[in-house]
Amino acid sequence: MNKPKLVILSGAGISAESGLKTFRDGDGLWEDHRVEDVATPEAFARDPQLVLNFYNFRRKACATAQPNAGHIGLAALEKDFEVTIITQNIDDLHERAGSTNVHHLHGEIFKMRSVGDEDTIYDIRTEIQLGDLAPDGHQLRPHIVWFGEPVPKIYEVMPIVQQADIFVVIGTSLLVYPAAGLVDLVPYGKPVFVLDKKLPPMKFSPYLQAIEKPASEGIQDLHKALAKFI
């Protein structure tokens, strides 16, 4: 018997509970930086050292962070569902929690690429410094989708959402596009669950169920709600 296709869109809220800061809360700063100064192509062109330092710091933070109950609870769903996680997060906490099918829309902090070649990706666990060159002779940069850059992975995950039996939104404000638009691709009549400590704006639907709790607390509620589909 085929398992139901469960597609999950996760965002910064789930990683925030592991101590990784997000700019969506508070004053709009990210580790005391304006997003425009550290997470855009223009910022990298203007001050590449600042941007590299920023992501070097974040890489260290991600390396020491641990998966929380939210991550672990999502991984456990693979027992009864065919789970695909589409995440806006650049950390590897879903994978370390045990999830085996994760798509990173906005890149990965533990990967890097040449500024002259978007397609050749290298692993990185330490720091990227100004002057560190790829084999093609160009400067290396974090493999991150910065604001203002295309999100090529979105085209890979759209068909996955369109085939979902159940769709879950967890830990995201649904304010960042194109990721937020994935909700509109869920087939009509399929159940949608939204789990967040502060529920994002959603169109009313009789197939929508909201759980207004942090991911680590609400994951058990989600498991109970999903039990009827097993």
Q: In this structure, what CATH number is given to the domain that contains residue 126? A: 3.40.50.1220
> Which two structure tokens, joined as six digits, stand for 79?
């027992």
| pLDDT at residue 220, rounded to an integer | 97
Amino acid type, 201: P
The per-residue pLDDT for range 142-170, each reduced to its tens digit, is 999 999 999 999 999 999 999 999 999 99
Virtual torsion, Cα 25, 31, 36, 37, nearest 10 deg: 170
For residues 108 and 124, what is the distance between their CA atoms, to the nearest angstrom? 10
- Region 115-140 average pLDDT: 96
Rg (CA), the chain: 18
Active site residue 104: no
- What percent of the chain stands above pLDDT 70? 95
Residue 135 has pLDDT above 80, yes or no: yes
- Active-site pick, 71, 94, 106, 143: 106
Instruction: Read off the pLDDT band of 203 (50, 70, 90).
Output: confident
Mean pLDDT across the chain: 92
- Region 55-75 average pLDDT: 96
The per-residue pLDDT for range 95-122, each reduced to its tens digit, is 999 999 999 999 999 999 999 999 999 9
Q: Which of 11-25, 54-68, 116-130 is predicted least confidently?
A: 11-25
For residues 230 and 227, what is the distance between their CA atoms, to the nearest angstrom? 6
More confident residue, 199 or 18: 18
- Residue range(s) defining the domain that contains residue 143: 5-229
Instruction: Read off the pLDDT band of 25 (50, 70, 90).
Output: low
Residue 222 has pLDDT above 80, yes or no: yes
Give the sign of the dihedral formed by CA 110, CA 50, CA 12, CA 167: negative
Residue 23 has pLDDT above 90, yes or no: no
State the pTM of this model.
0.94
For residues 168 and 7, what is the distance between their CA atoms, to the nearest angstrom? 6
| Domain count along the chain | 1
| pLDDT at residue 11, rounded to an integer | 94
- Region 33-54 average pLDDT: 92
For residues 50 and 46, what is the distance between their CA atoms, to the nearest angstrom? 9
| pLDDT at residue 34, rounded to an integer | 83
For residues 152 and 149, what is the distance between their CA atoms, to the nearest angstrom? 9
**Secondary structure class of 34 (helix, strand, coil):** strand
| pLDDT at residue 117, rounded to an integer | 94
- Cβ atoms 140, 132 nearer than 8 A: yes
- What percent of the chain stands above pLDDT 90? 81
| pLDDT at residue 82, rounded to an integer | 98
